[in-house]
Amino acid sequence: MGVLAASTNAGKFADIDVELWHWVALVVVLGLMLGVDLFIHRGNHEPNPRRALVESAIWVGCGLGFAGVVLIAWGGTAFSEYLSGYVIEKSLSVDNVFVWAIIFSSFAIPLRYQHRVLFWGIFGALALRAVFIVAGSTLIDRFWWLLVVFGVVLIASGIKVVRHRDDEGHQEHNRAVKLLGRFMPVQNELAGHHFVVRKAGKWVATPLLAALVVVEVTDVVFAVDSVPAILAVSREPFLVFASNAFAILGLRALYFLLGNAKEKFHYLSHALGAILIFVGIKMTASRWYHMPTTLSLVIIIAILGAAIVFSIRKTKAAAATANGGGSPSPAQEAATDHQP
């Protein structure tokens, strides 16, 4: 059992005393936040970019606010681990946001119904992540060599993300319909905001339910990457789940803000892949070398910042080339029309 038993770097991670009431308080706070969000978005109103921007800022503020609670309650090490997990999950989730846009497009889901699908999708994601985190933490505590396995999986996932396919999300459409069709018939027409309707005495699924199934399936795929990535910077289940939860809760607003802006972030997939590869290497080597969590956070933020800066430059350069290239800009055409 010497090889299989845990001999991890637990002493180099935060060792905090989490009581039952801490978990209860966290779940209650998350439940209240979900309830407020559902109340604000009651009805089938189409969200607008300005409102999505404000809501995204509020969600980020809540996540950072909880980081302050962690700092006061458990100190700087726990604070760094929570914040690192939050940034990792938030950054990796951006790719999930773009996949959602493809899913809704393939099912032709109107914008006014998308929030309803995402609400229940994220509700299910929170429960799923909790299971993944508890299982992952328990396994790592018992079998140290799983660190190497998870690390290799993250490296492979990072390489796959760098080689990102533009049609990602389309192939899940037919799979979800077939999977759902095993349990109930699936109709092609929407029925308002309903997930199921009753026809001829039978329950029939609508495209909203099919889209929800795809969202949940894709979240499983993303959780396989993101949960081990956060476990590379923290082994405390409470911190891992809290950072995961607060990052996920803001994804709906982030989706309505960035869902159709994929072309403006050309290097984002490269950055997310680089983050997964970096975290995978860190996790693989963690038994022999523990990189300070603060340094890991700085490297991750630097990778994201570089991707955003270079993406903005590429977008501006492409726009300048388009305006100054073969076809004249609208302003140039107007000036030509007014020449004698």
Residue 5 lies in a domain: no
Entry pTM: 0.76
> Could you tell me if residue 247 is inside a domain?
yes
pLDDT digits (tens, 9 = 90+) for 180-233: 778 888 887 888 888 888 887 888 888 888 888 888 877 777 777 778 888 888
339 in a domain, yes or no? Answer: no
Please report which confidence band the pLDDT of residue 326 belongs to, taking 50, 70 and 90 as the band edges.
Answer: very low
pLDDT above 60 (res 169): no
User: Following DSSP, what letter does each residue of 115-153 receive, concatenated?
Assistant: HHHHHHHHHHHHHHHHHHHHHHHHHHHH-TTHHHHHHHH
Domain for residue 334, yes or no? Answer: no
Within-domain flag for 124: yes
Q: How many domains does the chain have?
A: 1
Kindly state the DSSP code that residue 15 receives in the 8-state scheme: -
Q: How far apart are the first and last CA of the chain?
A: 91
Q: Is residue 216 part of a domain?
A: yes
Q: How far apart are CA 255 and CA 257, in angstroms?
A: 5
In a domain, 1, yes or no: no
pLDDT tens sequence across 235-283: 888 999 999 999 988 888 888 877 666 667 777 778 878 888 888 888 8
Candidates 123, 122, 115, 118; CA nearest to 41 is: 115
Residue 3 in any domain: the answer is: no
State phi, psi for 184 to the nearest 5 degrees: -160, 160
Domain span at residue 188 reads 14-317
